[in-house]
Amino acid sequence: MKALSIYIVEDEPLIVSTIETAMLKQGFKILGDAEDVITAIKDINALQPDLVLIDIQLDGSRDGIDLALELDKQKLPYIYLTSQTDPDTVGRVKQTNPLGYIVKPFTEAGLRSNIDLAWHNHTSKEYNFLMLKSEGRLHKINQKSILYLKAFDNYCYVYTSSKTYLVPHTLKRMAEQLDKDYFIKTHRSYWVNTNHIDSVGVNELVLKTEPIPISASQKPLVLSKLKKANK
């Protein structure tokens, strides 16, 4: 399973060190840290962390809430980590969309558990489920259970481990909703969940016992994604 990558925005070096120690013990990956908003935005755009931890009081004229507003525009997840709980600050925080609000001082165990819970809720809500309309009913499908999607004119078949759904949307439109951490296009008519790939051949890959075509142009991308997933 891919380690969660974290970027820290905090102007107290001792707190940065404490966070890094706690996160590394938990198996998370620390991509870097910054003391101000300008540096943080530059690094976050370059490094693309899974999650950002933001202190509200930072160096410079802009604070952590200003950074949060920028991250909201990009739909990047973040958690506040701050000692500020005054009404004015809380009022500004309500204008943003954090995954959580951790109040200092914090314990190492409390920090880990808060991040674990916030990320679990985030992935469950945002990434793991699709709402599919099929045969006149709306179905809530866990993306992890999807084996692959197949184009069918202006419709799309969604194959799960237990059932097949015919959805009145194009494959392109359905693909826009997929979690790209583990879904990849293997052919112009197929998107596949890489977690279910058993083997890759010359011009096909196998999901359980079912062969799926793979185009020459997409094969290097598929192999690269599989290698990264197994690291």
pLDDT tens across 59-82, in order?
A: 999 999 999 999 998 888 999 999
Among the candidates 126, 151, 172, a domain finishes at: 126
170-198: burial string, b at 16+ Cβ within 10 Å, e else:
ebeebbeebbebbbbbbbebbbbbbbbbe
Residue 1 has pLDDT above 50, yes or no: no
Among the candidates 126, 157, 181, a domain finishes at: 126
- Tell me: do 155 and 107 sit in the same domain: no
What does the mean pLDDT of the chain come to?
89
Residue 113 has pLDDT above 80, yes or no: yes
Q: Which residues contact 125 (CB under 8 A, 6 or more apart)?
A: none
pTM for this prediction = 0.57
Q: Look up the CATH number of the domain holding residue 25.
A: 3.40.50.2300
**The total number of structural domains that make up the chain:** 2
Among the candidates 83, 109, 126, a domain finishes at: 126
Tell me the pLDDT tens digit for each residue of 148-189: 999 999 999 999 888 899 999 999 999 988 988 889 999 999
pLDDT category of residue 38 using cuts at 50, 70 and 90: very high
Enclosing domain of residue 26: 5-126
Q: Look up the CATH number of the domain holding residue 222.
A: 2.40.50.1020
Contact 59, 35 (CB under 8 A): yes
What is the Cα–Cα distance from 3 to 223, expressed in whole angstroms? 20
